[in-house]
Every structure is written in C-alpha cells, then in structure tokens.
Amino acid sequence: MSNETEIEWFVFDKRGKLPEYARTVGRSSDGTIYLPVAISDENELLAMAMASEDKANCILYSEHYYAPSKWLVKTFPKCKEVCEAAERNIPGQN
C-alpha cells in the first residue's frame, strides 16, 4: 500500500446521497485511476487483504482505501460499469 504516490482527487455529485468517500476518485501522475474498495460490496478490510495478496498498489485517503480500477474490475467484475463510468468522467481523461 502506498501513501507517497501523487494523486489528484475528484469528488463527483457533490450533493449525492452516497458518502463523499464513495463518490471520490483519484488519478495518479502515471494515469492509474483509484476508486474506493467499498464499491466491491466486499468488507473494506477483506478487499484490502485481497489487494495486498495481489500486490495491488492501494492508497489510504481520508480514512478509506482506494484501489486501482483495473484491479477492482479484474477481482470484482461487477464493478466494471462503475469503474468505466468513473474513468470516463474524470476531467481531462481521454
């Protein structure tokens, strides 16, 4: 897990019903997109243990864990639509 990577954070739907952390997406300087592991519908700590086992570079931000979207889709295929939508809506993303 890394806390030293430079990440730009975006909050979607600022008046949304979900907690802010669940509407927050990060983009690292290398282009990796980070989403909250909570979107997996798995227990956050269990998902982090799985990410650690897979050597996925995860981020702790505002007391919540974020994982690379590619890892989330690979590990939790039902997250694919959410990950793709988040990636499409990040400002400046191709």
pTM for this one? 0.86
pLDDT of residue 89: 84
pLDDT more than 70, % of the chain: 93
Residues 6+ apart with CB under 8 A from 60: 1, 3, 66
pLDDT of residue 45: 87
Mean pLDDT, residues 20-26 = 91
Please tell me which of 33-42, 67-76, 82-91 the model is most confident about, judged by mean pLDDT.
67-76
